[in-house]
C-alpha cells in the first residue's frame, strides 16, 4: 500500500506565532502546506491541504533524517515541535533529526471539518458523560444520534468518509515523499501510538525508528479502549488519593487514601442528586467525574483537583479551572476539534450499534469500576456513524524490529492493559519499557531517567533492548 505522489512540494515559510499555543516557537521552525488526495484510491481527484511544520537539524554531520511526530488526541500537531523543545528534547536528538509536525486531515490548519455542534454538545468533548442508569444511556443515545446526523449533514460531510488513521498514515507517507526521504522515524503519544502503529503496519519498509509513548490497544480509540478508561482510573486514582491524604490539614478530605476515595464516591453521588451551580458550570456528578479523569493526567494537577473537591464538599462552586485544550480555542476551533475527533475515531473501528448493549455494559462497569466505569462504557456518536468506506488497518507484527513502546503503569487515559494488547499485536517488531509512575505521558514528561534514557537511546542508536524491561520508581531498570 503506497501513498500517491503529492500534488506539489511543501513551500516553507514562517509559522504563525499562535501555532505554539502560547509556547515560544523554536528558532528556525518553519511551516508550510502540502496538497494530498482526499481519496487515495482516486489520486487525481479532489485534494485537501495538510499543514506541516519542521525544525531542521542544525548539525548536518549528525543528521540522520526526519522524525515525524504526533501529540495524540487526535489533535492538531503543527505546534507540537515547540512543546518538544519546551520539555527539553535532548540536543543530540535535535541534531540527529529534522523534527516534523502536522495537523492531521480535518484538523486545525489542515482542511478542517465540522459538525456544527452546539455549546452544550461541546461541553463534554468526545468523552461520554457518566451514566447513572439505563435512562441516562438512552438519553445519551438520542443525543449521540443527533450529533452523528449533524456531522453527516454539515458543509464538510464530503470529507467524512475519508478522515481516518489509515488515510492520515498515507498523508504521513506523502509528507515523507515531499521531503525526499526514503524512510521516516516517528515519535507519537497517546492516540499517536495508534497512528504510528498503523503507519508501521502499512509501510513497514519505510519506517526507521518508531517510539510509541502511552499506548492505545491495537484497535486505537475504539469501544474497547474507551471502556478501559475505567481501569485506568482505578489504576491512577490512588496516587491522587495518597496526595490528598498526605495533605489532610489543607484539604480535610480524608486521612488515608481509602477515606479520600470513599469521600469522592459520596460526593459524586450527592452531586448526582443535588448539583452545585457555578457561574459557568453546573457541577453535577458527571462533571465531577469528568474533571477528576482529566486532572489525573499529571501530578501537577492534583492540587487544583483537590481544591475542586474541597469547594464542592463545602457545597460551593470551585474557582475557575485553568483553560483546557478546548477552552483555549474559539467556538469554531472547539467545534473543529471535537468534530474532527468523531470523524476520525468513528471511521477507525466498528462500534456497537444497539443502545441496549451499552446499557448492559454501563450497568456492569458501574459496579466493577465505580470511579469512572459508567462513563467509559457509555454510548457516543460512533454508534450511529455511516459504514466506513474502507476497513480499518489490522495492526500486526510484519516488518523490522524497530518499535519501542514506553508506558506508565498507572495511566488513566491509555492504561497498561491496552499497551499490553498492542505489544502482543506487534510481536517481535516491538519492545516495551514500563515505568513505575502514574499519569499520561512518559518520554520527557516525567523524572524517571530510566524511561527517558530508553527513548533517547533508541532514537539515537536504533538498537532495541533484547527484551522488555521495567523501570522502578527509583529509575532502576528491572
Residues catalogued as catalytic: 190, 411, 440
Other CB atoms within a 10 A radius of the CB of residue 433 amount to 23
Question: CB-hemisphere CA count at 13 Å for 420?
Answer: 7
CA 462 to chain centroid, in Å, comes to 25
The closest alpha carbon to 324, from 297, 299, 343, belongs to: 297
Q: What span, in angstroms and rounded, lies between the C-alpha atoms of 424 and 417?
A: 11
Q: What span, in angstroms and rounded, lies between the C-alpha atoms of 42 and 44?
A: 6
Q: What span, in angstroms and rounded, lies between the C-alpha atoms of 398 and 136?
A: 43
Q: What span, in angstroms and rounded, lies between the C-alpha atoms of 234 and 284?
A: 21
- Structure letter (DSSP) for residue 106: B
Helix or strand run (H / E) with residue 273: helix 257-273
Taking CA atoms, 466 is separated from 402, 429, 430, 433, in Å, by 12, 12, 10, 11
Taking CA atoms, 303 is separated from 115, 233, 240, 295, 306, in Å, by 35, 17, 9, 10, 5
Q: Cα-flanking dihedrals φ and ψ of residue 356, to 5°?
A: -60, -35
Amino acid at each position: 500500500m503506497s501513498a500517491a505522489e503529492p500534488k506539489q512540494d511543501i513551500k516553507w515559510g514562517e509559522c504563525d506565532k499562535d501555532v505554539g499555543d502560547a509556547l515560544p516557537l523554536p528558532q528556525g521552525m518553519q511551516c508550510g502546506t502540502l496538497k494530498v488526495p482526499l481519496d487515495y484510491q482516486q489520486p487525481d481527484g479532489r485534494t485537501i491541504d495538510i499543514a506541516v511544520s519542521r525544525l531542521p537539524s542544525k548539525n548536518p554531520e549528525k543528521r540522520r533524517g526526519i522524525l515525524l511526530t504526533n501529540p495524540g488526541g487526535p489533535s492538531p500537531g503543527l505546534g507540537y515541535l515547540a512543546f518538544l523543545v519546551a520539555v527539553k528534547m535532548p540536543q543530540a536528538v535535535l541534531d540527529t533529526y529534522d523534527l516534523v509536525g502536522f495537523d492531521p486531515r480535518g484538523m486545525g490548519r489542515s482542511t478542517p471539518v465540522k459538525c456544527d455542534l452546539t455549546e452544550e454538545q461541546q461541553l463534554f468533548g468526545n468523552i461520554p458523560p457518566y451514566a447513572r442508569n439505563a435512562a441516562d444511556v438512552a438519553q445519551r443515545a438520542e443525543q449521540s444520534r443527533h450529533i452523528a446526523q449533524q456531522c453527516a449533514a454539515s458543509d464538510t460531510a464530503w470529507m467524512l468518509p475519508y478522515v481516518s488513521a489509515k488515510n492520515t498514515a498515507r498523508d504521513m507517507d506523502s509528507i515523507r515523499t515531499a521531503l525526499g526521504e526514503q524512510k521516516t522515524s516517528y515519535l507519537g503519544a497517546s492516540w499517536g501510538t495508534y497512528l504510528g502503529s498503523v503507519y508501521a503496519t502499512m509501510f513497514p519498509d519505510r519506517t526507521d525508528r518508531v517510539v510509541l509513548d502511552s499506548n492505545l490497544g491495537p484497535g486505537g480509540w475504539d469501544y474497547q479502549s474507551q471502556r478501559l478508561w475505567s481501569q485506568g482510573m482505578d489504576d491512577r486514582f490512588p496516587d491522587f488519593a495518597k496526595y490528598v491524604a498526605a495533605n489532610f490539614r489543607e484539604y480535610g478530605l480524608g486521612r488515608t487514601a481509602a477515606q479520600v476515595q470513599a469521600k469522592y464516591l459520596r460526593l459524586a453521588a450527592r452531586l448526582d442528586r443535588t448539583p452545585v451551580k457555578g457561574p459557568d458550570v453546573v457541577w453535577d456528578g458527571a462533571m465531577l467525574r469528568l474533571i477528576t479523569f482529566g486532572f489525573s493526567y499529571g501530578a501537577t494537577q492534583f492540587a487544583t483537583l483537590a481544591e475542586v473537591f474541597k469547594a464542592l464538599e463545602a457545597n460551593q462552586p470551585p474557582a475557575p479551572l485553568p483553560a483546557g485544550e478546548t477552552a483555549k480555542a474559539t467556538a469554531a476551533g472547539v467545534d473543529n476539534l471535537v468534530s474532527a475527533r468523531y470523524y476520525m475515531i468513528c471511521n477507525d473501528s466498528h462500534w456497537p450499534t444497539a443502545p441496549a448493549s451499552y446499557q448492559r455494559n454501563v450497568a456492569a462497569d458501574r459496579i466493577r469500576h465505580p470511579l469512572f466505569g459508567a462513563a467509559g462504557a457509555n454510548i457516543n456518536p460512533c454508534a450511529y456513524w455511516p459504514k466506513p468506506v474502507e476497513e480499518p488497518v489490522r495492526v500486526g507484527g510484519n516488518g523490522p524490529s524497530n518499535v519501542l513502546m514506553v508506558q506508565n503503569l498507572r495511566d488513566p487515559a491509555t492504561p497498561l492493559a491496552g499497551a499490553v494488547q498492542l505489544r502482543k499485536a506487534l510481536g517481535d517488531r516491538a519492545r516495551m519499557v514500563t515505568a513505575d509512575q502514574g499519569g499520561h505521558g512518559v518520554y520527557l514528561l516525567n523524572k524517571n531517567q530510566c524511561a527517558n534514557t530508553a527513548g533517547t537511546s533508541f532514537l539515537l542508536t536504533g538498537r532495541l533492548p533484547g527484551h522488555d524491561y521495567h523501570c522502578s520508581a527509583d529509575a532502576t531498570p528491572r
